[in-house]
Amino acid sequence: MRDRRSVHPMAWIVWATSAGFVAFVTTDPVYLFLLWAVSWFVYASHRVDADHARSFRLFLTGATIAVALRTGLVFFGTVSAANTTFSFLEGLRLGTILVIFGTFNAVTDPFGLVRMAPRHLHEPALAAALALSIAPRTVAGVGRVREAQRMRGIRVHGARALPALAVPVLERGMEEAHTLAESMDARGHGAGRRSRYRPQPWTVAAILIAATAIVAAATFLAASAGGWAVLHPQTSPITWPEADPLLLAAIGLLAAPGFVGRTRP
Amino acid sequence: MSDALRFDDVTFTYPEGARPAIVAVDLAIDEGSFALAVGPTGSGKSTLLRAANGLVPQFTGGTFGGRVSVQGRDTLAHPPRRLADVVAFVPQDPGASFVLDRVEDELAYGMENLGVAPAHMRRRVEETLDLLDIAALRDRSVRTLSGGERQRVAIAAALAAGPRILVLDEPTSQLDPQGAEDVMAALQRLVHDHGMTVLLAEHRLERVAGWVDVAIGFDRGRVSSGTPADVIGHLAAGPPVTRLGRMLGWHPLPLTVREARGAASAAPRPTLPPPVLSDTGDGDGSVVAQARGLRASYGETTVLRDLDLDLRAGEVLAVMGRNGAGKSTLLRVLAGIHAPAGGRIRVLGEEPRPGTDVALCPQEADELLFKDSVEQEVRATLVARGETGAAAPWLAALGIAGLAARHPRDLSAGERLLVATAAVAATGAPLLALDEPTRGLDPASKERLIGFVRAHATAGRAAIIATHDVELAAAVATRVVILAGGDVIADGAPGPVLGDSRVFAPQMTRVFGPGWLTPEQVAGALR
Amino acid sequence: MGDDVRTLAATALPRPVAAALVLVAALIPVTMPAVTGTAPACAAATGPHAALVIDTGTGAHSFCIALDAASVSGIHLIELAGAQDHLAYGFGSGGQAVCRLAGVGPQGDDCFADYPDYWGYWHGDGQGGWTWSSSGAASTRVGDGALDAWVWGSGDSGATHPKPPALGMDDVCVPGTVTPAASPPGSRSTSPPPAPSSGVRSSASPSSAGTSRPSSARSATRSSTAPVSVAPPERGSPTVAAFAATQGPPGGGGPGPGLLVALVLGTALAGGGWLRLRSARRRRSIG
């Protein structure tokens, strides 16, 4: 994935940070839902493989749950259309950030990022990358174990059958993690001396992605500081949300990765 | 020549071990040797291999006595990462040991850790890519590689850092015969042309016996080393040609097909043509499973296209083919857990019901095991099926009655596979399916498995095994099917099908001609 | 191949040049408002109108009020805002001083009960500049085109008290679109008025009952959850009135065309993504 033509991981970091910032400064559902669409489009254009695709779906599900949960919190106070809408928008913002991160996770190779981390951040970055990579593998493992147990007539439903699912999955996950750690140790990881094999070059595509993302974020920053657009629609009373054309265009810029830097054969 | 690896009175017990894994090992492996560690699973091979690069005891913990020196460096004084420049280790499952995504990056990883200069790294990576003939794979993601490619990339990654010693744990267990041969040839090139020292552990001696020049035999933690002929000759199990030689009293015992041909030319040739078996003779020939125009995909690739197959009662069908030919997919479709994209699949006239009509033992036995004892494992199946019988008969059928009270995860890989087979067979399903039962399968477990499968394929039942172990197919199958390009390209009795294939021919066929499958068969005809 | 050329270009492009390009790109949205400049002076709307701006400290609301006389007092302007746009208010000192606006401020008769915070009174010059009022609301006359602002905060004079946001008359009253009857709540685009619910709010609610005029009215509403600091005292940044002019059709309720554009854009992106996934799937079939 990290070949000469693929997008520099830093460009993706810039993209994700910019998109995340945009989601952070607004609760306008128009912009937020558009960000979902943008994230989906970028993911579809750049996703790495089946494992990452699966993890993106996980993030999508997680984001939806986050929205639902946050909206549900309204029931702890006075319930009104306005309050519900407010809660929903707050949840939507959180969900949007999750989806953006899901896209980021699906298009980058966490270990590639680790190698770019500065020396003193290497260990925590590696731990994070390992954690990120084990999750999709565990998910795959769950599917296989469930299948295997079906073969014996053990249907894994409900809490009673949990050991039949959990034990093999966890054991396998631990074994794989163990093998990986063992392998890294044997290959000299953490020996102190480090050098870098070919560093990833910045392609025009990567520059474009980073630049458009920065412009998008800057536009929203200007809107937020300059007050020339409504970033938080009124919820009491409930009003139709804004759709400023300049801000729409800024979000559209965040979809730029969908058109550049694609390395599909 | 100096010692590349030296073991002085080494004894080691794992942290939770009841007994030492290796005992009083005194061993010296010269530089430039090609060494083979051989012995039953659980006899200490893996432990010794890991002691050779310091993973034992620095990574595993445990009680360690004695001294291991690698190119003169004491493994107790140097942690594994400080030995990474002289010794490299390739574990059994290379897929789980890849750190990075791209092949080229994976090769450079070890050197990055050692702080090698970038220009030097680039040169080394290019050389290693050429050495293992994987230059075309350099930009590929390791996840997209086939088993054989993965194995070669793992070896390349270990080599690129420039170690003098290479240690490999069952490097051909997941490879088809062609892939295995490629790997062994590459290793031999490293030894002969580059003076490297290679130490590997392997069960399937027919694949490696002819390549190595020193063998280390393991027996319950104790080792004895010598020439391959000496060590392997003393083993109960060995490659088929060796077993035949022992049965016929040949001296010296042949280790390779070539040696066997030499010995056989001096002996009388078998005169009777071999019988052509197509079933065990106990079945009534009724159709157990049927596939018509079957189309199936694995992930996003189509692996089976327009496949027709009939499986009759009494048959033991071996499904063979290269890695990725669709063997596992076929079994999973038969088992009813994988929906075909097109065509029809019927087991006993119906859509297959997993666990009822078909019992499939997965490639990873560990995916099934979750109970605390072997007996409970089998009982779990019986309980789930609503049956009240005891687990004992199933354990006895697989020869593991003695393990009834043991915790499955304490057993060797081969024993675990037998437990999984018992757990799956206890469903009582008429069609038994085994998916590539090869990893870690030691000869003793293989024998028990063969016996069980043959016994199963009687009285209206059948068995189907996906495998690339030619000797296993030769020993157990009554019919062989070869898959390639998503379709069946050969289907018939093992004699003609295996005899016709250059890749899948068993050793007996290579020595005596088509139709000769097992040493027992040949010995019987010659006596 | 195209990709090789791009890579060559990338390596040929030195880092500083690339960084400079990015920096220039980032400055565009910040400078654009200045480029577009301010809008021309507002033409007279039908009948006398005055603008009222209420800045509670956490949010600002502006109202375009149709006057029922040639000139009214500052107090009466607030009453008209209450009648036309449901602005919540409370007077003290016998109806002569402004205590409470949009739910902020002390209840009762003493308008300085929350001292040092109180409602400061400003008059606007129509172009965004403001002057501290020298007389009270009761004695100030407000006529056609006048701009009044009330700002909650502390500070005893115009030098220390927080100033209103920089709004001009045309930000509040768009020419030819104002009808007192159509008083939709909400900020920029028009919306269905849930009239009963737009009554008096609890304190510190930024979305008060007040409304601004349809479409292009710049209420500069900010919810309390905005991460950027709200209502800075001095804001000399030029207004982006040009964008106001480009906003959707005046009057009417319901969503603006921006929403339609967003819908089309979102559908295009979702569909594009789905197509991309499908074609990738097909390409992966074994050959």
Where do the domains of chain A lie? Answer: 9-113+204-258, 116-186
Please say whether the beta carbons of B134 and B152 come within 8 A.
yes
Taking an 8 Å cut-off on Cβ atoms, the answer to whether C285 and B302 are in contact is: yes
CA distance A49 to chain B (A): 9
pLDDT recorded at residue C190: 36
Please say whether the beta carbons of A27 and A229 come within 8 A.
no
- Among partner residues B114, B118, B356, which is closest to A188 by beta-carbon distance? B114
Q: How many domains does chain C have?
A: 2
Tell whether A17 is within 8 A of chain C (Cβ): no
Match 């049965």 to its residue by tokens: B247
Residue B498 lies in a domain: no
Mean pLDDT of chain A: 84
Residue C126 lies in a domain: yes
Q: Which subunits sit against C, judged by 3+ Cβ pairs under 8 A?
A: A, B
Q: Please tell me the distance from the alpha carbon of residue B322 to that of residue B325, in angstroms, as a whole number.
A: 5
Domain limits at C179? 49-258
Does one domain contain both B168 and B272? no
Burial pattern A183-210, b for ≥16 Cβ within 10 A else e, equals: bbbbbbbebeebeebeebebbbbbbbbb
Domain boundary among B202, B235, B268: B235
Tell whether B114 is within 8 A of chain A (Cβ): yes
**CATH code for the domain of C225:** 2.170.130.30
Does one domain contain both B344 and B224? no
- State ipTM: 0.80
Taking an 8 Å cut-off on Cβ atoms, the answer to whether A203 and C10 are in contact is: yes
Of residues C31, C34, C50, the one with CA closest to residue C42: C50
Residue B67, φ and ψ in degrees, nearest 5: -145, 135
Of residues B11, B23, B104, the one with CA closest to residue B65: B11
Residue C170 lies in a domain: yes
**Across A241-252, average pLDDT:** 91
Residue C18 lies in a domain: yes
When scoring B46, B47, B49, B368 by the number of chain A Cβ atoms within 10 A, the one with the most, hence best to mutate, is B368
What token pair was written down for C153?
Answer: 């905060």
pLDDT band at A198 (very low <50, low <70, confident <90, very high): confident
Residue C271 lies in a domain: no
- Among partner residues A2, A180, A182, which is closest to B102 by beta-carbon distance? A2
**CATH code for the domain of B187:** 3.40.50.300
Does one domain contain both C16 and C79? no
Does one domain contain both C78 and C20? no
Q: Please tell me the distance from the alpha carbon of residue B299 to that of residue C285, in angstroms, as a whole number.
A: 9
Residue B348 lies in a domain: yes
pLDDT recorded at residue B274: 67
Q: How many domains does chain B have?
A: 3
Does one domain contain both C31 and C143? no
What sign for the dihedral angle of Cα B504, B510, B516, B521? negative
Does one domain contain both B226 and B242? no
Q: What is the pLDDT along chain C (287 residues), one digit of tens a residue?
A: 333 333 333 333 334 444 445 544 444 444 333 333 322 223 334 578 888 989 888 888 888 888 887 778 888 888 888 878 878 888 887 777 888 888 888 877 788 888 888 899 989 887 778 888 888 888 888 888 888 999 998 888 888 888 888 888 877 776 544 434 333 333 333 333 333 333 333 333 333 333 333 333 333 333 333 333 333 333 333 333 333 333 333 333 467 788 899 999 999 999 999 998 888 777 654 33
Q: Please tell me the distance from the alpha carbon of residue A15 to that of residue A35, in angstroms, as a whole number.
A: 12
Secondary structure (3-state) at C244: helix
CB neighbours of C127 closer than 8 A, spacing ≥ 6? C38, C168
Q: Please tell me the distance from the alpha carbon of residue C274 to that of residue C278, in angstroms, as a whole number.
A: 6
Residue C223 lies in a domain: yes
Q: What is the pTM of this model?
A: 0.68
What sign for the dihedral angle of Cα C115, C119, C122, C126? positive
The residue among C40 and A167 whose pLDDT is bigger is A167
Taking an 8 Å cut-off on Cβ atoms, the answer to whether A188 and B81 are in contact is: yes
pLDDT recorded at residue A265: 41
Does one domain contain both C53 and C24? no
Does one domain contain both C119 and C192? yes
pLDDT band at A159 (very low <50, low <70, confident <90, very high): low
Secondary structure (3-state) at C74: helix
Does one domain contain both B244 and B226? no
Residue C12 lies in a domain: yes
Residue B256 lies in a domain: yes
Does one domain contain both B60 and B153? yes
Does one domain contain both C112 and C213? yes
Q: Please tell me the distance from the alpha carbon of residue B180 to that of residue B204, in angstroms, as a whole number.
A: 10
Residue B291, φ and ψ in degrees, nearest 5: -125, 135
CB neighbours of B471 closer than 8 A, spacing ≥ 6? B204, B206, B240, B506, B507
pLDDT recorded at residue C173: 78
The residue among A42 and A124 whose pLDDT is bigger is A42
Residue B240 lies in a domain: yes
Residue B86 lies in a domain: yes
Q: Please tell me the distance from the alpha carbon of residue C161 to that of residue B501, in angstroms, as a whole number.
A: 95
- Among partner residues B141, B364, B424, which is closest to A1 by beta-carbon distance? B141
Residues in chain B predicted with pLDDT less than 50, given as ranges, are 280-281
Q: Name the percent of chain C in helix, strand, coil, to the closest 5.
A: 30, 20, 50
Residue B497 lies in a domain: no
pLDDT recorded at residue A158: 63
Helices B257-266 & B240-248, crossing angle to 10 degrees?
Answer: 20
Residue B501 lies in a domain: no
Percent of chain A residues past pLDDT 70, beyond the cut: 90
How many Cβ atoms are within 10 Å of B115's Cβ, its own excluded? Answer: 13
Does one domain contain both C197 and C70? yes
Domain limits at B348? 287-492
Does one domain contain both B443 and B335? yes
Does one domain contain both C167 and C238? yes
Does one domain contain both B316 and B326? yes
